[in-house]
Chain A
Amino acid sequence: MTAALTRAWEGVRWYLKEFTGEARWDDYVAHCTEHGHTPMSRYEFERARTDAAEKNPISRCC
């Protein structure tokens, strides 16, 4: 029971982090660790991501 609840909670957390794009940072850090790079600061990373969004407008339908 507890195990199932934990799994469900983990699932929701995973989904929300992926959905909002928060997980991108974790992916990036994991990637750097794997390849032995020093990651840039989170501030720089998020800044680059939001600046890229500037040229790529989200479409919202009616």
Chain B
Amino acid sequence: MKTVAIWTVVAVVGAVCWGVLAIARGETISALWLLFAALCSYAIAYRFYSRFITYKVLRADDKRATPAERLENGRDFDVTDRRVLFGHHFAAIAGAGPLVGPVLAAQMGYLPGTIWIVVGVIFAGAVQDLTVMFFSMRRNGKSLGQMIREEIGLVGGIAALIAVFAIMIIILAVLALIVVNALAESPWGVWSIGLTIPIALFMGVYLRRLRPGRVLEATGIGVALLLLAIVSGGWIEDSGLGETLTLSKEWLVLALVVYGFVASVLPVWLLLTPRDYLSTFMKIGVIVLLAVSLIIARPVLQAEAVTDFAREGTGPVFAGSLFPFVFITIACGALSGFHALISSGTTPKMVAKESQVRLIGYGGMLMESFVAVSALIAACVIDQGLYFAMNSPAGATGGTVESAATFVQGLGFDTSAQDLAAASAAVQEETLISRTGGAPALAVGLAQVFSQAFGGGGQAFWYHFAIMFEALFILTAVDAGTRVGRFMLQDTIGNVWKKFGDLSWRPGNIIASAVVVGLWGSVLYIGVTDPLGGVNQLFPLFGIANQLLAAIALTLCTVLLVKHGKLRYAWVTGIPLVWDLVVTMTASWQKVFSGDPRVGYFTQAGVYRDAQNAGEVLAPAQDQGQMDQVIFNSTLNGILQSVFALLTLVVAAHAAVIIAKAIRANGLPTTEEPAVPSKIVEPAGLFPTAEEKRAIAEHERLVGAGSGRSEAEEK
């Protein structure tokens, strides 16, 4: 009875928040309505929908031993406390994506983005993470690619493998592009991010030599040094070093490529692992800080609910109309295919009890969605003239405060050149005009929310604090991604050339690392030098690629549901799959075939080629060299876009054949491991229920305390 009352209250609060958002037109409203609408929706979805999927659709069975219990080896297979694994999984899935996408999508207003983030995560993103994790867990933690090869077929498997690798390269390049845009011409940013390298090296040596294993100590020292690095950036800027550290985008690309290569061949303990500790603690700290400050500061939304750009598709941040482009600009936070790589493989090998995938898979993704909503709020509470001046490419704003003010006034904002100059002075940056990529705009939003919440100004500190934390975990993702890409490459080529697949063969490591870094480095360079603006051009490619990967993952899940004879529940992954295919294929079609040169890559290339043949130079290109560049980049982007879409269609077509077969046969055999009885008793959710407490006490009385763990360890 009490629970019914609680859930009724949650439902009513959620409904009221959504109602306020729906009715509010032309008046400013508090951002907290957005926050609580999201939180109440998550609570209800977790309580009811995830429960339905876990127990009715997937039939998680706690009497079955998980791979962690059966194959425990203390390394990759390791029974891990559900709360700890939740933290690990969340740290692995959430990065810069849920922060950046929503900031860019804010050009269409706060409502489309919020609705997609909340509805998308509940019915698509969290469902994907949960089901992939469950199916991988039932197969001893096999990877997404392996499962596709075994369950759909070799051709589908190869298509998926190529897609995963190519998509990873694009993702790394776009992430690196965001860092470059945030650090270019910013000596403060370059100084504090640069210092993270010696700090991480110091922590690495500390953990290896000085005090082995004392991770908390080392991380505490590291975080303190990191804060010092941020503060000291303010002094550096005014000193003689400021000039030296003002780096152009091209130099930053070179620095990142060299760094990425060195980091991926160095032993992990020296750089990657300590940097990861730093970035994880910073990440969780900032997210908690942001949630608290939003509630203290209660900022007011400056953005409109739905802007004209949503209706007309003429937005300067990225081109294209609301459908399909809001849905691909916001990938992480609503539906991210990349999560399928982490939900298969790493995490499922550590789950203690089957039912815990609900908390870790579905719950972890809801948490990421919450981060996305917070980022969207941060972008919508800043002055919207400033927002567009920051996020529109230099070709549109002209690059100076005067031209940018004219530009945003043309969009209908009354932001003056003095306002724009004051905004950059407040955060002690040379300029904020056309600082695209989302990270700087988010940092301005966070600085505003934090200084509003805690008082005392300090906008410049908070701005660089936010830039530092975004750059820190983007760099961690780039390090880790390069290494994962290197392993994939070595593994794949190892099938035909055995020696190359040997991970301890140094030349193989170096060649594979160089190839991976070279690939994302070239895409990064293309993006950075693109006259039309790299973010504007590449971000759609990134979003579509990520969601095509989601389509592949959801296809696998749907195939497995049908193969397991659960046709009547196939809609659970089938509906998000169809939706995702419609969105990504429409977007791909428009990016490839649209006659609008701002949207269609080939039309864009064609317009510039015609102009070139006529001997003209089209703005924003400034000379024939830049004309060539636009033509080359747009053609390349168009080709990549088509290849990704075709690969996904190959997987989907193969899957359709298998599904048809399985429907006729009323299910097909799968590679699921046979059930083995479990000896571990543990709660399913975050907090144990009264019944679970009784069961644990009973179990401990019968077999002695902590039996699950020590028994597994004896093997």
The chain A residues found within 8 Å of chain B, CB to CB, are 15-22, 24-25, 27, 31, 34, 42-43, 45-47, 49-50, 52-62
Contact = CB atoms under 8 A, between A and B. Distances in A.
Contacts of A52: 75
Contacts of B41: none
Contacts of A58: 92, 272, 276, 346, 480
A53 B480 CA distance: 12
Nearest to A42: B212
B109 interface: no
A57 B487 contact: yes
A53 B473 contact: no
A42 B94 CA distance: 32
B480 A20 contact: no
Given A18-B84, A19-B87, A62 B212 contact: no
Given A54-B269, A59-B92, 16 more contacts: A19-B88, A21-B215, A27-B709, A45-B213, A46-B207, A46-B212, A50-B208, A50-B268, A50-B273, A59-B342, A60-B477, A60-B480, A61-B95, A62-B95, A62-B332, A62-B477
B713 interface: yes
A-side interface mostly: helix
Contacts of B171: 62
Interface residues of B, number: 54
A60 B278 CA distance: 14
A44 B487 CA distance: 26
B436 interface: no
Interface centre among A19, A34, A60 (most CB of B within 10 A): A60
User: Which 5 pairs across A and B sit closest by C-beta, in order of nearness?
Assistant: A62-B97, A20-B215, A46-B212, A60-B480, A50-B269
A19 to B, nearest CB: 5
Given A31-B713, A54-B267, A22 B214 contact: yes
B216 interface: yes
Contacts of B88: 19
A62 to B, nearest CB: 3
Nearest to B270: A50
B503 interface: yes
A49 B75 CA distance: 8
B346 A59 contact: yes
B710 interface: yes
Nearest to A50: B269
Contacts of B481: 59-60
Nearest to B279: A60
A61 B207 contact: no
Contacts of B268: 50, 53-54, 57
19 contacts: A19-B87, A19-B88, A20-B277, A21-B215, A22-B216, A24-B74, A25-B213, A50-B273, A57-B483, A57-B484, A58-B92, A59-B342, A59-B480, A59-B481, A61-B93, A61-B97, A61-B332, A61-B339, A62-B338
Contacts of B503: 55
Interface string B178-211: 0000000000000000000000000000011000
Contacts, number: 103
Contacts of A34: 710
Nearest to A52: B75
Contact of A20 (B76, B92, B216, B487): B216
A25 to B, nearest CB: 5
A16 B216 contact: yes
Interface in B64-109: 74-76, 81, 83-84, 87-88, 92-97
Contacts of B267: 54
A18 to B, nearest CB: 4
Contacts of B476: 60
A40 B408 CA distance: 66
A25 B74 CA distance: 12
B117 to A, nearest CB: 15
A55 B481 CA distance: 14
B287 to A, nearest CB: 15
A52 B345 CA distance: 16
Contacts of B483: 57
Contacts of A47: 208, 212
Interface in B256-294: 267-269, 272-273, 276-277
A56 B484 CA distance: 9
B76 A61 contact: no
B175 interface: yes
A50 B204 CA distance: 11
A31 B715 CA distance: 12
A11 B269 CA distance: 28
A62 B96 CA distance: 5
Contact of A42 (B76, B213, B215, B219): B213
A61 B336 contact: yes
B76 to A, nearest CB: 6
A46 to B, nearest CB: 4
A19 B332 contact: no
Interface string B119-139: 000000000000000000000
A23 B471 CA distance: 30
A41 B338 CA distance: 39
B216 A17 contact: yes
